[in-house]
């Protein structure tokens, strides 16, 4: 069994009720955080998970809304752990430079805490691995593979397939439909996909917002990817515009037109069990 918790269903469009994009994946004794948008540690705490308990941080891409709280994850894990607790971070090429720049920005904080606490003797131990495809994790009965997605001009971007016992979940991140995401998702139990309402975004007057139409999947496109892969469950997240209370059925109907399985969407904290 794998349990998915939507720890952030928001987007760069600030919504007081939606944290930035992130998803918690629990499999066996492992807990993975996929992306770390605005407010993620507050939502993870509500789900019973602290930064110190994360098995690894997985990043689909380096768009700011998906990594705003990287600093919070790194520093909170560092200061709330007694003893060594390196943080594995797996992301696309470019991740190491972002982590190093984050640590560089934290240099004053790191020096203050090392000077003040006798038991903090070094900076946060962050271990970055960069991938665009292949198997990236095989520990504790959990296997993770990645494949490239298509979020151009943002590249490289990756999706994660997490497998544990008989369950498999794919976390697509931001992407338009593409063959490599289809291949990664084939035969999984669930697909967690970011989605935008193209019908609503098209009507927005600001070109800056309409610019997002060409590199995200619409609800219908995410549903079509789920249908091609034959998954049982589609979990939609990262709603643009923000999903308003009472609109859930509209979103669900758009997905159901092209996908006959279970469709899950909703508020931060939504939990979905698969397998
Ligand atoms: Zn993005
Ligand atoms: Zn995004």
Return mean pLDDT, the chain.
96
In the prediction, which pLDDT does 213 show? 85
What pLDDT, in 10s, does the model give residues 68-90?
999 999 999 999 998 889 999 99
Is pLDDT at 194 greater than 90 in this prediction? Answer: yes
Cα of 83 to ligand 1 centre, how many Å? 35
Per cent of the chain over pLDDT 90 is: 92
Ligand in closest contact with the CA of 9: 2
What separation in angstroms does the CA of 264 have from each of 25, 176, 199? 15, 20, 20
Mean pLDDT for 86-100 is 98
Quick one: which ligand is closest to 65's CA?
2
pLDDT digits 0-9 by tens, 217-269: 999 999 999 999 999 999 999 999 999 999 999 999 999 999 999 999 999 99
Please identify every residue annotated as catalytic: 65
Counting ligands in written order, which one lies closest to the CA of residue 61?
Answer: 1
Q: How far is the CA of 230 from the centre of ligand 2 (A)?
A: 25
> What's the gap between Cα 229 and its chain centre?
20
Above 90 in pLDDT, residue 197? yes
Q: Write down the pLDDT at residue 83.
A: 85
Q: Which two three-digit tokens encode residue 268?
A: 């931060």
> pLDDT at position 134, please?
98
Which residues have their alpha-adjacent CB atom under 5 A from ion ligand 2? Answer: 65, 174
How far does residue 84's CA lie from ligand 2's centre (Å)?
A: 32
pLDDT for res 212:
86
State the pLDDT at residue 209. Answer: 84
Q: What tens digit of pLDDT does each residue of 104-123 get?
A: 999 999 999 999 999 999 99
| Upper half-sphere CA count for residue 13 (Cβ side, 13 Å) | 13
> Which has more confidence, 253 or 214?
253
- Per-residue pLDDT at 208: 87
- Average pLDDT of the segment spanning 168-187: 97
> In angstroms, what is the C-alpha Rg of the chain?
18
Q: What is the pTM (predicted TM-score) of this model?
A: 0.96
Cα(111) to ligand 2 centroid in Å equals 33
Write down how long the chain is: 275
Q: Is the pLDDT of residue 183 over 90?
A: yes
35: left (phi over 0), alpha (psi -120 to 50) or beta: left
**Ligand 1 ion: nearby residues, β-carbon < 5 Å:** 63, 174
pLDDT value of position 192? 98
């Amino acid at each position: 069994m794998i349990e998915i918790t939507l720890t952030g269903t928001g987007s760069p469009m600030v919504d007081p009720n939606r944290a930035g994009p992130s998803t918690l994946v629990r499999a066996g004794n492992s807990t993975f955080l996929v992306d770390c948008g605005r407010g993620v540690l507050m939502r993870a705490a509500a789900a019973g998970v602290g930064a110190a308990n994360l098995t690894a941080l997985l990043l689909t891409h380096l768009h700011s809304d998906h990594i705003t709280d990287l600093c919070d994850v790194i520093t909170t894990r560092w200061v709330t752990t007694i003893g060594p607790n390196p943080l594995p971070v797996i992301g696309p090429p470019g991740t190491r430079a972002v982590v190093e720049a984050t640590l560089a920005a934290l240099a004053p904080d790191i020096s203050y805490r090392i000077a003040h606490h006798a038991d903090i003797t070094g900076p946060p131990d962050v271990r970055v691995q960069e991938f665009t495809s292949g198997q990236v994790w095989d520990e504790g009965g959990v296997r993770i593979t990645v494949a490239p997605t298509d979020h151009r001009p943002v590249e490289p971007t990756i999706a994660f397939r997490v497998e544990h016992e008989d369950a498999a979940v794919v976390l697509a991140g931001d992407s338009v439909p593409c063959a490599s995401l289809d291949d990664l998702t084939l035969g999984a139990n669930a697909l967690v996909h970011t989605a935008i309402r193209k019908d609503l975004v098209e009507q927005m007057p600001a070109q800056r917002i309409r610019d997002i139409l060409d590199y995200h999947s619409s609800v219908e496109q995410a549903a079509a990817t789920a249908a091609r892969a034959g998954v049982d469950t589609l979990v939609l997240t990262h709603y643009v515009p923000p999903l308003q209370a009472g609109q859930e059925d509209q979103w669900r109907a758009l997905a159901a037109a092209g996908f006959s399985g279970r469709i899950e969407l909703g508020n931060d904290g939504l939990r979905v069990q698969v397998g």
